[in-house]
């Protein structure tokens, strides 16, 4: 007798399960190329979790549901996990893009009032409701692009009141969007103007007031560790204060200049070190021997027109746990498309398409300590997956420029459908005979 479940998703042209490796932990080296592809695959779901995956004939024989969704013609894989984003901002910065197109560098843009401090001014001017509303729309944007789990940073308030406003806006926006969100406090994103001449005072403010008060609104703390921003000693103080308040740790590290950021992240047992365009060989070796995930952000170097990309091949071959993310933000990478990031990872980081898939699912989930819940389609995990209108999984990286996401499923429920008039039928639930 067939086992009753809530819903069956059947006839996936290809089902990329990632279930031929362990359910938890990062994939490293050659293991990043194992995808567990099932032709004409199916997924059985009950109570928002995966009960089983396999060939449609076998799943339809063993399980019965009142609802079936036919995904014929679509490639289905775990929902994307975007583990580095900055969606809590008030205004976009397209004017800076125009300036870069005309040859302006970062300093010239800053002198014209641009950069992170531009976003700071607009966040400070925005009401809580205004900031909540725009953040909510951006959270929906991730779902439209196939992302089911996102890490969302603050960092454009740069004061106790405005960082608190940012975290509350994120909390309130999350309520209305079926997106799994990991919240990161990034008060150490830049020094605000009022502390430019007394940076030590701002570090004290972060450690003594902001982190203790705001920790309850966040899951993690990040710091922009870079020469000219927060140096090694300041970063260590801030992250140590965050850990004392029970927050997990993340770092912007070695992005533009080498500073030993990767080594510091490993020393602190941080969940991730991100960017890493200028990581040292010692940093690669340290990360390879650790559980600190290297989160690579090729969209940023591309969008800024800087030929600075993390040495992904050396990192993968050394055994680092490598993830990729969008770095969605108003200034240096304004995209929510993980499929575009797949292309950039393949072209600019020289990653293989299989590695890009793994880096945007299970490895990214591991960096958020959510690999027990999402990132693969193992039985028992959350039924978070995405249906892509591409000819096969091999088109990951190859197909870019549009949005191939046909449907985003969260906890077994279709929450975002980008159906075209050409093929609406697969999105109609078919009633079955199961109990």
CB 329 within 8 A of CB 297: no
Reduced to 3 states (helix: H, G, I; strand: E, B; else coil), residue 371 is coil
Same domain assignment for residues 73 and 146: no
pLDDT at site 121: 97
What CATH code is carried by the domain that includes residue 183?
A: 3.20.20.140
Same domain assignment for residues 136 and 238: yes
Same domain assignment for residues 301 and 291: yes
Same domain assignment for residues 406 and 329: no
Tens-place pLDDT, residues 59-112: 999 999 999 999 999 999 999 999 999 999 999 999 999 999 999 887 678 778
Same domain assignment for residues 394 and 318: no
- Which domain-ending residue is among 367, 394, 418? 367
Angle subtended at Cα 27 by Cα 264 and Cα 342, rounded to the nearest 5 degrees = 90
Same domain assignment for residues 357 and 425: no
Total domain count, the chain: 2
Same domain assignment for residues 361 and 380: no
- At 419, the pLDDT band (50, 70, 90 cuts) reads low
Rounded percentage of the chain residues whose pLDDT exceeds 90: 91
Whether pLDDT at 430 is above 60: no
Name residues whose C-beta falls within 8 Å of residue 373's C-beta, 6 or more positions apart in sequence: 180, 365, 381, 382
β partners of residue 199: none
Whether pLDDT at 297 is above 70: yes
Same domain assignment for residues 316 and 239: yes
Please compute the mean of the pLDDT values over residues 424-431 and round it to a whole number: 45
Same domain assignment for residues 140 and 25: no
Same domain assignment for residues 286 and 322: yes
Please compute the mean of the pLDDT values over residues 342-350 and round it to a whole number: 98
Please compute the mean of the pLDDT values over residues 388-399 and round it to a whole number: 97
Same domain assignment for residues 59 and 194: no
- Which domain-ending residue is among 351, 367, 383? 367
Expressed as residue numbers, the domain containing 333 is 80-367
- Residues 266-288 as b/e (b if ≥16 CB within 10 A, e otherwise) read bebebbbbbbbbbbbeebbbbbb
Same domain assignment for residues 117 and 8: no
């Amino acid at each position: 007798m067939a086992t009753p479940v809530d819903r069956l998703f059947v006839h996936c042209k290809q089902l990329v399960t990632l279930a031929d490796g362990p359910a938890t932990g990062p994939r490293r080296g050659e293991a990043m190329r194992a995808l567990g592809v099932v032709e004409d695959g199916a997924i059985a779901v009950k109570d928002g979790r995966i009960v089983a995956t396999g060939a449609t004939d076998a799943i339809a024989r063993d399980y019965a549901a009142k609802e079936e969704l036919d995904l014929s013609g679509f490639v289905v894989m775990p929902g994307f996990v975007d583990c580095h984003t900055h969606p809590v901002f008030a205004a976009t910065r397209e004017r800076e893009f125009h300036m870069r197109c005309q040859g302006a560098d970062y300093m010239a843009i800053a002198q014209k009032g641009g950069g992170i401090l531009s976003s700071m001014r607009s966040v400070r001017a925005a009401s809580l409701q205004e900031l909540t509303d725009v953040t909510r729309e951006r959270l929906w944007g991730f779902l439209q692009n196939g992302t089911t789990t996102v890490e969302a940073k603050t960092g454009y308030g740069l004061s106790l009141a405005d960082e608190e406003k940012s975290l509350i806006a994120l909390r309130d926006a999350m309520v209305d969007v079926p997106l799994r969100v990991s919240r990161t406090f990034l008060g150490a994103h830049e020094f605000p103007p009022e502390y430019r001449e007394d940076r030590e005072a701002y570090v004290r403010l972060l450690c003594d007031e902001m982190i203790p008060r705001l920790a309850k609104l966040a899951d993690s703390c990040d710091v922009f560790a870079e020469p000219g921003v927060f140096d090694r000693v300041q970063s260590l103080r801030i992250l140590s204060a965050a850990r004392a308040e029970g927050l997990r740790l993340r770092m912007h590290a070695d992005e533009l200049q080498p500073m030993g950021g990767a080594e510091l992240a490993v020393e602190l047992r941080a969940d991730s070190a991100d960017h890493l365009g200028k990581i040292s060989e010692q940093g690669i070796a340290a990360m390879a021997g650790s559980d600190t995930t290297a989160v690579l952000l090729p969209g940023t170097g591309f969008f800024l027109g800087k030929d600075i990309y993390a040495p992904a091949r050396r990192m993968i071959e050394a055994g680092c746990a490598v993830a990729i993310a969008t770095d969605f933000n108003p200034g240096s990478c304004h995209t929510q498309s993980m499929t575009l990031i797949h292309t950039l990872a393949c072209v600019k980081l020289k990653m293989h398409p299989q590695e890009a898939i793994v880096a945007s699912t299970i490895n990214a989930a591991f960096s958020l300590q959510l690999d027990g819940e999402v990132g693969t389609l193992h039985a028992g995990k959350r039924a978070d997956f995405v249906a892509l209108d591409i000819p096969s999984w091999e088109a990951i990286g190859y197909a870019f420029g549009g949005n191939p996401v046909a449907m985003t499923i969260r906890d077994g429920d279709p929450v975002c459908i980008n159906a075209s008039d050409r093929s609406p039928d697969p999105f109609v639930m078919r009633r079955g005979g199961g109990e």
